[in-house]
Structure 1
């Protein structure tokens, strides 16, 4: 019989005291490896959360206003000023958009590994501003100004103007490539995942981030595009440069409130080490108990530990401890921690979701190309003296997205939270799936409306079809709703589901969905054009839009999207989320899906 001296009663009391002390520290300090403006552990009360995020959203507002003020009218500029054919202009826009949304992979890597997110943002804004300056030069320098006679032959400065113009555009692409992944992840970094209240606020962050984004987009495609169409392009570029300067000043004012993440070196090296260690120990048997796998002790100063999962078990061999006293077997190229192994599994795990959202991105790409060309040949008169610029109709999608994210955050999340008991309302992959399904509806409507437009065009035979541009409202708005579900969901998913050290790269993965989709959209246009012209047939993408068959192309996209919905559901049902061990020992957390979430019936590990 045990005596009181040997009793284990005092141990729980001691652990409770430690836990309370840890909780108090977690309330006062931010213990997620971030630092404040002076390099110290941040005070929770004076840094981060919305007091910092609002400054970050402000510069995103300015950058998106600038970007969409240029990009949305690009299709019109290429066809009317640079005299490119419809299919050529569409492919040019898709290539540029593709590069712009693929470069964040490089920018995100540099931010995570070397420069840090804040420094990357500053460098990127300077490059972006240089691109705007070159655009101004291309419109004002006499030797670089484009031809103004649209109907007649264009000689002289057109070739040189094209060179300078596209150099400026791709400087903006480079600036965007560093700016977007760094800024969005920097904003999300202001919310501590290990603090319950801040984690709840973070669930709204991506919604309000996109609210700011769409607000900038709306002003870009209305006010800026109006200036481009009715005053001059150089005036619009000057305005955009001033706006970027103001946005940068606001961003710098927030420096005392920000939480910063110190770059930890190449994020690819740990991944390569896990592969190397797993291959070297491929012949070792799996341990009978996964607790025997190697892991370092957790502490406040270390990154969050990940729980072991049973998927991709071959990689677990990297964490097997070899029974030897030889120190070379403790080499990081021979032995990895469970957390490092699980981080590699996370990267592998997101690939199917990335692939399954590509068709969605291809359909989204049409809103800035063929949808806008439809606007250009339809009746855009609001009054007898005012006509809506074609690119301004793009704002309908932004309105749809603003309405969607507002309703989602303020109405749908509270409703589904009560209904399901899940903090997120519906899971992040369910949210993405709803948006993908909406895109199917949008493309069906687009096909029907285009068929109607073509029937009127064949009867009327006029260049501008006597059909109101407001017939395009449903396809733009529904596409905007789809963006509000899928694009916001993708941002949150890729930020949460990558390793903590790769979160700028995670946002870049989301952007690369759109980038890859733009390249594939160009490829699809090329293939469809070749197939439809073969044997003397008429291309679906004729120079005259009234002789094209965009309705058939939209039906093709709708069919592709419908098949993709089925594929996406199958992929999402097999998905497993990141399982995190909380630093403060309160509870385990699972990033991206809440605590008790059932994600389209995913397998849980």
Structure 2
């Protein structure tokens, strides 16, 4: 077996940066509220924006890595970004640059000048890029270090085994000790300085193995074909799609990868139209103007939140009855739908809370949270009922139901289409009810209620008025 433990350990030591950056993020809100004296909401907003950016970036960086840079350069850039970002974060604390900037060295908002503020926000951007870059490239680059003849196995020679064990022990122990010890360190400069030093050390260890790494050229991104289909279909929007799908462009030298034509999203079929004013050879040279039917169909598969794509992959690789096997499909296919679902959940929850707060009687506002949770609880129960009904309906006529014993044999894509249709119906119903609903102005009535209460409290007692009322 091939011995790649040396390069392997020099790469995996970069996990230090990920662990310590996660710690820095964990204490960031406390730092902003205690030192910068920010409100909890403002501090939480900064942390949430940071988290959102570091979650969105991996998709774009993976595309750039697969198309242009490759795993190594993305890992190198993100590691350097980590180093500079963590260093700037430590330098943004008041005591570090107080002498150079002429500010005080106390952990107080008055000691935070423009230089410290700029360094802090730049550090967040660099750390977010570093985190996203490691998510995109660290795992793939580690896998690139295993030669094909090793059969996926990595082991150390007997004479290197003690050193390898010691290296693994240090690699795991150092970030664990740091994370548990840092909370007991009071000065924030040291709290952020230690992760910065460890990140620098891990990057230097990684750079020490440059001569021993296996470098793989960018293989190209599957997202490129999707972009090409959208561009080509848009450029040919005024051209008529042929009635016979056999007239669309396809290549016979890709028999193993052919995907049959379907009638879904037929507007995208225009990307495979062969124009009469140019030869086919001329059009084939520009993939942004002419795409294969297979590429069009693969793009169609990505349009519905991606279960149909998963089923197509497991069918192609013969994994229908192998639920424990790893599916050769990137987890980033799930990223867009989870982002949309996360945004929808947050907006829906806030919307329901706002509705109950403004529209329910004031005496019932104590139950507002319970009302909100009740709505979502009813939705959870309804989801169970929808699965049961969908399974019963899909079995009618002796057909195979959508929900089978294994996930690979199930047709969850059909169920997701059903949910999409129900959501569309619910949206129409909501629009109708919302347009007919008689709203009350919660803020104005609250002010009037508060004003009337104040008037009643502050008004002097008048016997004549009391008698008159009687």
Q: Which residue of 2 aligns with 1:286?
A: 244
CA shift digits 1:242-292 (9 cap, x unpaired): 32234334544276453513265992653335424774654312346x9x8
Which of 283, 295, 304 is 2:251 aligned to? 295
Which of 25, 31, 43 is 1:77 aligned to? 31
Q: Which residue of 1 aligns with 2:411?
A: 601
Which of 122, 126, 132 is 2:76 aligned to? 122
Q: Which residue of 2 aligns with 1:100?
A: 54
Q: Which residue of 2 aligns with 1:494?
A: 330
Offset of residue 137 of structure 1: 0.8
2:21 equivalent to 1:63: no
Structure 2 contact 58–135 (Cα < 8 Å) conserved: yes
2:190 equivalent to 1:238: no
Greater shift after overlay, 523-532 or 177-186?
523-532
The 3 A distance-change label for structure 1 pair 76 and 563 is farther
Q: Which residue of 2 aligns with 1:155?
A: 110
Offset of residue 133 of structure 1: 0.9
Structure 2 contact 83–199 (Cα < 8 Å) conserved: yes
- Alpha-carbon distance between aligned partners in 1 of 2:187 and 2:126, rounded to the nearest angstrom: 21
- Alpha-carbon distance between aligned partners in 2 of 1:225 and 1:276, rounded to the nearest angstrom: 55
Offset of residue 306 of structure 1: 5.0
Structure 1 contact 56–251 (Cα < 8 Å) conserved: yes
3-state SS of 2:49 partner? helix
Which of 141, 150, 154 is 2:97 aligned to? 141
Larger RCO: 1 or 2 (CA < 8 Å, sep 6+): 1
CA shift digits 1:455-474 (9 cap, x unpaired): xxxxxxxxxxxxxxxxxxxx
Q: Which residue of 2 aligns with 1:345?
A: 300
CA shift digits 1:288-339 (9 cap, x unpaired): 6x9x85125259xxxx835336363624554466789834554545532244
2:327 equivalent to 1:425: no
Offset of residue 100 of structure 1: 1.6
The 3 A distance-change label for structure 1 pair 560 and 95 is farther
2:214 equivalent to 1:258: yes
Q: What does 1:364-383 align with in structure 2 at a 5 Å threshold? A: none
Offset of residue 134 of structure 1: 0.8
Structure 2 contact 305–334 (Cα < 8 Å) conserved: no
Structure 1 contact 127–174 (Cα < 8 Å) conserved: yes
3-state SS of 2:253 partner? coil
3-state SS of 1:261 partner? coil
Q: Which residue of 1 aligns with 2:257?
A: 305
Offset of residue 175 of structure 1: 2.5
CA shift digits 1:363-415 (9 cap, x unpaired): xxxxxxxxxxxxxxxxxxxxxxxxxxxxxxxxxxxxxxxxxxxxxxxxxxxxx
Q: What does 1:47-58 align with in structure 2 at a 5 Å threshold? A: 56-58=11-13
Structure 1 contact 111–263 (Cα < 8 Å) conserved: no
Q: Which residue of 2 aligns with 1:91?
A: 45
3-state SS of 1:285 partner? coil
Q: Which residue of 2 aligns with 1:326?
A: 279
**Rg bigger for which structure?**
2
- Alpha-carbon distance between aligned partners in 2 of 1:548 and 1:83, rounded to the nearest angstrom: 33
Offset of residue 229 of structure 1: 4.6
- Alpha-carbon distance between aligned partners in 1 of 2:385 and 2:254, rounded to the nearest angstrom: 41
CA shift digits 1:565-590 (9 cap, x unpaired): 88899999xxxxxxxxxxxxxxxxxx
The 3 A distance-change label for structure 1 pair 515 and 148 is farther
Offset of residue 118 of structure 1: 1.4
Structure 1 contact 319–336 (Cα < 8 Å) conserved: yes
The 3 A distance-change label for structure 1 pair 54 and 514 is farther
Structure 2 contact 262–297 (Cα < 8 Å) conserved: no
Structure 1 contact 100–515 (Cα < 8 Å) conserved: no
Offset of residue 65 of structure 1: 0.8
Offset of residue 160 of structure 1: 6.0
The 3 A distance-change label for structure 1 pair 177 and 318 is same
Q: Which residue of 2 aligns with 1:369?
A: none
Q: Which residue of 1 aligns with 2:139?
A: 184
Q: TM-score, structure 2 length as denominator?
A: 0.57
Matched positions, count: 362
- Alpha-carbon distance between aligned partners in 1 of 2:389 and 2:212, rounded to the nearest angstrom: 46
Structure 1 contact 55–254 (Cα < 8 Å) conserved: no
- Alpha-carbon distance between aligned partners in 2 of 1:295 and 1:557, rounded to the nearest angstrom: 50
Which structure 2 segments of 5+ residues have no match?
A: 154-169, 310-318, 392-405, 415-470
2:63 equivalent to 1:227: no
- What's the Cα RMSD here? 5.3
2:12 equivalent to 1:113: no
Structure 2 contact 16–175 (Cα < 8 Å) conserved: no
